Amino acid sequence: MIAGALGFSRLEGILALVVTRTEYKRLFDIYVPIAIGVFVLVVALILFAVLRFPRRPAERAARWHENNPLEATYALALLGVVVFLLYLSFRAEHRVDTVAAEERPQLEINVIGAKWEWHFNYPAYGINRYSGTVGHETLVVPVDEAIRFRLVSLDVIHEFWVPELRYKHDLIPGFPQYMTLTFPQRGSFPGECAELCGEYHSRMIFTVDAVSPSEFDAWARSETAAADAPTARTRVEAARSSSS
């Protein structure tokens, strides 16, 4: 569920640090060599069969059509590989899902997806950011702090994807999704919708700005002040009009 984030989970009775980017990189490093090995083996067997057994007259063709011990051996070998990979995948999923269930977030952000825009809402600050067909405001987050994302779709299935973090998660209409992420390093990371969602799917993009906690606090204060400024001006104008 989570990739590229940091979190904590209960493991053997102790609070252990889980680097989810590393978790999924470890899976990648196992999956790819196995996939390459299977591909090479299949190609080698095909080439061996083509070169070792070229076309022959019909009377010299082999008459047998099965080899049960051989077929059972490679079927069990393939089953063993599948079971092994599923075990590793579900173990990694369990570890990182535990992060979302147990970690107490320092920040909560509502992520609302709709054709074809992202709406990022910071409920604790009253800040709203939009990206996609409506503009390109950044999603600003503090580094090294647990962030709880609430994912909601208003129409079709969308997918929140930050490639730099090796992370993506579906937004399903009518079913809010939750996950906890921690951005381990500062930087600017592109994000997008990874689920084909209609005509302007390609415009449903955003950028994540991961900044230090102090920079995030300063940014949040400035955004809150900017949002409150029109209200203050309205009150001043109302006071002036009433005094006149």
Q: What pLDDT shows up at residue 12?
A: 33
Decide if 117 contacts 128 (C-beta within 8 A): no
> pLDDT confidence of 100, banded at 50, 70, 90?
low
**pLDDT greater at residue 234 or residue 114:** 114
Q: Is the pLDDT of residue 236 over 70?
A: no
Give 121's pLDDT tier (boundaries 50, 70, 90).
Answer: very high
Would you state the pLDDT for residue 29? 86
Band of pLDDT at residue 19, cut at 50, 70 and 90: low
pLDDT in the model for residue 58: 65
Q: In the prediction, which pLDDT does 226 show?
A: 76
> Residue 243's pLDDT is what?
44
Two tokens, residue 219: 């940014």
User: Which pLDDT band, with edges at 50, 70 and 90, does 92 fall under?
Assistant: confident
pLDDT the model gives residue 147: 87
Counting Cα atoms < 13 Å in the Cβ hemisphere of 136 gives 9
Confidence of residue 20 (pLDDT cuts 50, 70, 90): low
CATH for 107-237? Answer: 2.60.40.420
Q: Name which residue leads in pLDDT, 232 or 181.
A: 181
Mark residue 72 as left, alpha or beta (left: phi above 0; alpha: psi -120 to 50; beta: remaining). alpha
User: What CATH fold (topology level) applies to the domain 6-102?
Assistant: Helix Hairpins (1.10.287)
Whose structure tokens read 């939009």?
130
Q: Where in the chain is the domain with CATH 1.10.287?
A: 6-102
Q: Which residues of 78-105 are buried (b: 16+ CB within 10 A; e: fewer)?
A: eeeeeeeeeeeeeebeebbbbbbeebeb
Of residues 174 and 240, more confidence is placed in 174
Range in 98-107, 128-137, 220-229 with the lowest mean pLDDT: 98-107
Query: What stretch(es) of the chain map to CATH 2.60.40.420?
Result: 107-237
Residues 36, 40, 41, 46: is their CA dihedral positive or negative?
A: positive
What average pLDDT is seen over the chain?
A: 79
